[in-house]
Amino acid sequence: MGTQHDNRDLRSLRERWLPHPLLTAVLIVLWVLLLNSFSVGGLLVGIVLGLVISRMTSNFWPERPLVKAWGKAFAYLGVVAWDVVVANLQVTRLILFCPVEGLATRWVVVPLELRSPEAITMLAGTITMTPGTVSCDLSADGCSLLVHCLDAPDAEDAVRQMKDRYEARLKEIFP
């Protein structure tokens, strides 16, 4: 009986001081990378920042977002990284060689099948990170996303690409 009580106390202590271990680890790694050189002092500052930031933000996300498939999540990161590179080249070409009058800038509404706030946030962030598109607003009911496209001659095609490349993958990642 005492061992079970001790385990609960340890778990409670860990959850209080390290509520999001993955976030803490990511923050530590990012801090060390931002320093651009490794030192014990820099690592210690990163650990302190990781612990403090994780603890201070824990009330903003009381439940950890569930991820169904970590492998698909990493594959998604690869797709997004590739799309960012390709979109950078496309936007560069548009800026350098396309007259402003030749751009088909437009607003598109992307109907959402996602319901998880974390998944919708990932989709909106992905769209914004990809040069040439910016997610601007989420409808009050959370069922559609307003996106501005720098050059989208076919609005339906632009929406279909966002849904096929990003939303479909996010549906597999988040429950």
Q: Which CATH class is domain 70-173?
A: alpha beta
The CATH 3.30.70 domain(s) of the chain lie at: 70-173
Range scoring the smallest mean pLDDT among 14-18, 72-76, 97-101: 14-18
pLDDT (0 to 100) of residue 141: 94
Instruction: Name, in order, each residue with C-beta under 8 angstroms of 105's C-beta and a sequence gap of 6 or more.
Output: 148, 149, 150, 151, 152
Helix (H) or strand (E) holding 126, with range, is helix 117-129
Average pLDDT over residues 62-74: 80
| pLDDT reading at 31 higher than 90 | yes
Average pLDDT over residues 36-63: 88
pLDDT (0 to 100) of residue 175: 76
pLDDT (0 to 100) of residue 3: 58
pLDDT (0 to 100) of residue 58: 80
Contacts 24+ apart (CB under 8 A), 117-126: 118/65, 118/174, 119/170, 119/171, 119/173, 119/174, 120/145, 122/170, 122/174, 123/162, 123/166, 123/167, 123/170, 126/80, 126/166
What is the chain's mean pLDDT, rounded?
A: 89
Average pLDDT over residues 65-79: 88
| pLDDT reading at 142 higher than 70 | yes
- Annotate 75-88 with b (16+ C-beta within 10 A) or e (fewer): ebeeebeebeeebe
| pLDDT reading at 157 higher than 90 | yes
Name the nearest CA neighbour of 111 among 149, 133, 154, 142: 142
Average pLDDT over residues 62-78: 84
